[in-house]
Amino acid sequence: MNTVYFNHRRRRARGKVHVPTVTLAHGGGGKAMKDLIDDVFVEAFDNPLLAPLDDQARLDLAALGRQGDRLAFTTDSFVVDPPVFPGGDIGKLAVCGTVNDLAVGGAVPLFLSCAVIVEEGVAIDFLRRIARSMAETARQAGVQIVTGDTKVVNKGACDKIFITTSGIGAIRPGIDLGPHRARPGDIILVNGLLGDHGAAILCARGDLALETPIASDCAPLHDLVATLLAAAPGTRFIRDPTRGGVATVLNEIAEAAQLAIEIDEDLTPLRDEVRGFCEILGLDTLYLANEGKIVAIVPPEQAQPALDAMRAHPLGAAAAVIGRVVAGEPGRVTMRTVFGGNRIVDMLVGEQLPRIC
């Protein structure tokens, strides 16, 4: 069943929730559900496209066509534990994640959907906080949340809240990004300090009893990408190194491009706290997740303008060149270590697990 928030055509008073927690009644399709949707989601997301409150958002094709010659369409689910962490929450993450997946393809993000699965017993105030956080992040990213769905499940059937967002963006004519465009000699850049999100989440889980000032880097990157593309129009390819970190993305790029990649450990920008955190746990910073970072491949002659443009942007102050594309064994990523040795940077097998000693 596809339950849509907004199933009332006529102007009417918005429903209000008068209980402190979500119960299965809020997923039952009746008045309680309408009240929850009105009070929490419509209240936060309100915008003209959502206003008709129909089973679907209807978008003007001609208007879309004026913004580009191709549509970008993407989807992502968010299940982060804990749902609120230093630097953000699952709502902010759910908007940034999808916005960034559109942006790194060269698209201008425009519309999002938002499907929420809530565990019974969750506080209404918590839901409000997450919805407001989504609305605020969407405003920053210049996107509208135009359709959605809410389900309530039994306790234990999900972990507080799961969110799925899908997004549509428009790609301007002439923009063509893809790993197939990478050439030997191309330069690899990142827009700042790596691993903050992964480290912040691990710390926020609390079972390490480590107190750190590390906050998630979670941020919408559409503007940074636009800035980069303006300064370096020859940019070959952009990816956001989320799960699996920079190491995984570089492996995927090398594999897809059938080229080799060399990076230099000395050049990878890292916060001392994140390095220290990884030292203690025996984790590798290169595999930590990022939520506000891009890896960009640019032709050598545009590397400096690209770097300058990113550094002038608030989300790129610590941008750096970390390596280059070379003609070596296809799919291979190697790193010159701080110590002067060389090693392979492979895909992670499973999850990174802290080492015994």
Partner 1 sequence: MKYVDEYRDRAKAQILVREIETLAAGMKIAEKRPLQIMEVCGGHTHSIFRYGIEGMLPKSIELVHGPGCPVCVLPMGRVDDCIAIAERPEVIFTTFGDAMRVPGSRKSLLQAKADGADVRMVYSPMDALALARKNPTREIVFFGIGFETTMPSTALTVLQAERESIGNFSVFCNHITIVPTIKAILDSPDLHLDGFLGPGHVSMVIGTAPYEFIARFYKKPMVVAGFEPLDVLQSIWMVLKQIKEGRCEIENQYARIVPDAGNTLALRAVARVYELREYFEWRGLGSIDHSGIKMRAAYARFDAERKFALPNVKIADPKSCQCGEVLKGVIKPWQCKVFGTACRPETPLGALMVSSEGACSAYYQYGGVKRQRDDAAIEAGAA
Judged by the rule CB under 8 A, the positions of this chain that interact with partner 1 are 207-208, 272, 275-276, 279, 281-282, 284, 329, 332, 334, 336-344, 346, 349-350, 353-357
For residue 100, give Cα distances in angstroms to 72, 137, 147, 271: 12, 12, 19, 22
- Angle between helix 222-231 and helix 303-312 axes, rounded to 10 deg: 140
**In the complex, least distance from residue 149 CB atom to partner 1, rounded to whole angstroms:** 28
* Strand 84-85 to 88-89 pairing: antiparallel
- Name the one residue in this structure whose structure tokens are 């609390």: 206
- Who's near 142: CB < 8 A, 6+ residues apart? 108, 109, 222
Q: How far apart, in whole angstroms, are the C-alpha atoms of residue 261 and residue 239?
A: 15
Separation between Cα atoms, residue 51 and residue 148, nearest integer Å: 13
| Residue closer to partner 1 (CB basis): 144 or 285 | 285
Q: For the CB of residue 274, give the shortest distance to partner 1 in the complex, in Å.
A: 10
- Shortest CB 154 distance to partner 1, Å: 17
Token pair for residue 277? 């955190």
Q: Which residues of 213-240 are buried (b: 16+ CB within 10 A; e: fewer)?
A: ebbbbbbbbbbbbbbbbebbeebbbbbb
Instruction: Classify 110 in phi/psi space as left (phi over 0), alpha (psi -120 to 50) or beta.
Output: alpha
Smaller CB separation from partner 1, 102 or 203: 203
Nearest to partner 1 of 124, 281 (CB atom): 281
Distance of closest approach, residue 327 Cβ to partner 1, in angstroms: 15
Q: Which is nearer to partner 1, 109 or 198 (CB)?
A: 198
Number of C-beta neighbours around residue 121 at 10 A: 14
- Of the pair 159, 346, the CB lying nearest partner 1 is at 346
Contacts of 104 (CB under 8 A, 6+ apart): 177, 221, 225, 238, 239, 240, 294
Nearer to partner 1, 106 or 323 (CB): 323
- Taking the least distance from each CB to partner 1, the nearer of 48 and 340 is 340
Q: Closest approach of Cβ 23 to partner 1, in Å? A: 27
Q: Is 16 exposed, middle or buried (0-12, 13-18, 19+ CB in 10 A)?
A: exposed
* Residue 191 token pair: 């827009």
Instruction: Select 223 or 264, whichever has its Cβ closest to partner 1.
Output: 264
Of 299, 197, 306, nearest to 246 by C-alpha is 197
CB of 126 to partner 1, least distance (A): 24
The smaller minimum CB distance to partner 1, of residues 311 and 336, is found at 336
Query: Other C-beta atoms within 10 Å of 317: how many?
Result: 12
What CA–CA distance (Å, rounded) separates 288 from 323? Answer: 18
Smallest gap from Cβ 265 to partner 1, in A, equals 9
